[in-house]
Amino acid sequence: MMHVKKALINNYLLFAISSVLTLNSCGISNEIYNERKISINSDWNFHLNDSIKDRDTISAATQWRKLDLPHDWSIEGRFDEKSKAGVGGGALNGGLGWYKKNFKIEAEDSNKITSVVFDGVYRNSQVWINGHYLGKRPNGYITFQYNLSPYLNYGNKENEIIVKVDNSKQPNSRWYSGSGIFRNVWLETTDKLHVAPWGTYITTPVVNNDKASILIETTIQNQNSTSKQATVNTIIFKGKKKITSFSQNITVEANTNKEIKQETSIENPILWSIESPELYTAVTEITIDNKIVDQYKTPFGIRSFTFDYDKGFILNNKQVKIKGVCLHHDLGALGSAINTRAIERQLQIMKDMGVNGIRTSHNPPAPELLDLCDKMGFIVMDEAFDMWKLNKSKYDYGSDWDQWHKKDLEDQLLRDRNHPSIFIWSIGNEIYEQWKDESVKMSKELADIVKNLDKTRPITAAMNPPVNMNIDEVTLQFEKSKIYINPLAGSGNLDLIGYNYAHQTFEHHKTNFPKTPFIATETTSALATRGYYDKVSDTIINWPIKWDIKFTGGNPGNTVSAYDHVKTPWGSTHEATWKIIKKHDFLSGMYIWTGFDYIGEPTPYEWPSISSYFGIVDLAGFPKDVYYMYQSEWTDKTVLHLFPHWNWKVGDNVDVWAYYNNADEVELFLNGKSQGIKSKKGDDLHIMWRIPYQPGTLKAVSRKNGKIVAEKTIKTAGEPATLQLTPDRSTIKADGNDLSFVTVDIMDENGIFVATANNEIHFSVKGNGKIVGVTSGDPVSHESMKGNKHTALSGKCLVIIQSAKNAGEIELTASAEGLRSRSVIINAK
């Protein structure tokens, strides 16, 4: 049983103490600054319907199980070849689920407004409070809320909220969606006079190093039956330091909203950038008779930017190449159930690669992702839709388009528009209407919705492609008479022309679109299985042969070579597209498909493959080799990456690749004997030797001006003998949410990593934590990612540990038949 007032006190006592010190030291007020909303993720009950027995209903006889949110029930199921979701949906079933929760509200809150906020429920959610129907929301990715106040019980009497989630009609997604209340849920309590939900809009019309002008537009909502006179105070902080404040007296009529504008300036502003993502906070207070009745907090950043037709993306008067990736919303072994630390880990892995941009493919993201992008410094393309009215899957959002697209897009804009990390709005991905004249009218409507709520960012759509040029792949020549601009690209409704693939046309952008800047919304679609290598790597392979022809070839075990030489027919190798993008200033940047592998869409294969091959990083978060090509190009870190592993058959010819930077040359040695010196020529991004295999030691040495820059060694491994456990963090928070991602490596007797091992590893935990996910990143594995065992892929496996709500040690033990077991301690504090 949850008691709201007690939960507020427990969750915000420490925050309130620090806030009192902060606000009082600034001379603002003697009131305690409190958050308006609290998490209500704990202690829900869940029931997954049996469609025959339950007939899509619940009753007094319904069997419930207790759990905490966020929750994805599909990831708990088994992979099913006959799943109606198909392998595109990860071969995991949907269904119909019910959630319920009981809670109490203090009697003193009966004169306030209490709302429930859902950050995302997939999909077709319906909500009841105490038997009263609140509404339905088909879109699984959008944040929505309901006012509970008219139907609540106060004091000692309980309230019951029930949520029905219907993901039974399949397929409704081209990738794995997950099922359930898979994002956070909040209870928000306000005075009847308050800042409206998503009720602030902060812009910076003029920005330079000396001064930034700040415009704050605020919507005040009065749900009283009488008019109210009040004062709106806005205080801007940088960290805990007060920067400025200003006030305005207002009168708000009964049951109406009032919009006000406040302007100020900040001297010598600290600008938000990808290297130093500095944030400010605006605190809006509403006071009546010197008493604070509402406080609302809005983080924001100060930066200037433009997409220049000739120079590309300009941030704070500096040219920046967007080096981005597309990310789907699932979190690997966690499924689609959101976890802030899991998102942070993904973003940090990308940041370490040199990524500075994220595209939220192809839906509104979790708010936590945007918060992290604000803090970590990413250039976000916030995408709204994967389809408009024309369906891509039989039961997808296209069927809800007419009734819901305006509301959903408006809510996305209102929720997200204060995030400084967002630089582009995308109104659609590869929508079928792009080739029809009706796309002109439809895109105009969507663009008008966006511009009505935010005029500070450009609008694009991801088109595949925006122009057909019939370029000969060998001669790179084309016939001008056969150039065709698709209607959406030529509509005049887009501020940026978004290219999905068609990299051969990039250099002709100025010819085809003489006024509108360029952005590569989705590129590459190269394929790889981590740790698997063909013997010959210098031949480019197209898999499948065509997108609309079933693929019947491939490798044993549905593997794909991890040399960068296998691609889709519509895409390119990783090197090919980047070589073009880096060459021209007017090509503002690109978003690669994809940063991480994701569940579903296992191109080029079908069953038994159930997850993708597109990622630069696999489903477990382990980088594939091409990660280091980008790192050598996109960062200042000294890189020397040598591959493949060194366990082959004697006499095999093996292609040895190296990615490197900050050096003139690399020399390769096998058992101390030089195999030659190689250097990158022209626009080369890697070097290669083809040498006969002999067991022993492979060593690469990079040099600049004759001096050694870096060395890398790979040794032939013996038989698997033991395990090595490496947590990404040995100390985590004891909050019931925090995670430690533990890498399990299989080692031989001499401590050499066995890159060819595929042992089944078993896990057990003692203490104040639990296992919440296991995976190896193998796209063909049908083992449960919610179990306590998993088979390694290319010598590696991942186990995810979650803390309990009480502090203490967590002991994880890993074991495998014939191998020495190992344990590691994680401290939850």
Active site (catalytic) residues: 430, 522
Beta bridge partners of 19: none
Contact by Cβ (8 Å): 502, 478: no
User: For residues 371 and 377, what is the distance between their CA atoms, to the nearest angstrom?
Assistant: 10
Q: Going by DSSP bridges, is the β-strand pair 241-252/228-238 parallel, antiparallel, or unpaired?
A: antiparallel
Positions of E strands within 138-255: 144-147, 159-167, 185-190, 193-203, 211-222, 228-238, 241-252
Sign of CA dihedral 173, 178, 182, 183: negative
Structure tokens given for 322: 């967007």
Q: What are phi and psi of 524, to 5 degrees?
A: 85, -75
Q: Are 335 and 599 in contact (CB under 8 A)?
A: yes
Q: Evaluate whether 605 touches 551 at the Cβ level (below 8 Å).
A: yes
Give the β-pairing of 65-67 and 144-147: unpaired
Q: How far apart are CA 345 and CA 780, in angstroms?
A: 24
3-class secondary structure, 414: helix
Specify whether the CB–CB gap between 562 and 297 falls below 8 A.
no
Dihedral over alpha carbons 280, 281, 282, 283 (to 10 degrees): -160
Residues 6 or more apart in contact with residue 85 via CB below 8 angstroms: 91, 92, 93, 94, 170, 171, 173, 176, 177, 600
Which positions ≥6 away from 110 have C-beta within 8 Å? 152, 154
Paired residues of 790 in beta bridges: 761
Question: Cβ distance 560 to 543 under 8 Å?
Answer: yes
Residue 557 per-residue DSSP state = G
User: Rounded CA gap, 233 and 220, in Å?
Assistant: 12
Q: Which two tokens stand for residue 152?
A: 């609540």
Q: Where are the alpha helices (DSSP H) in 263-366?
A: 340-353
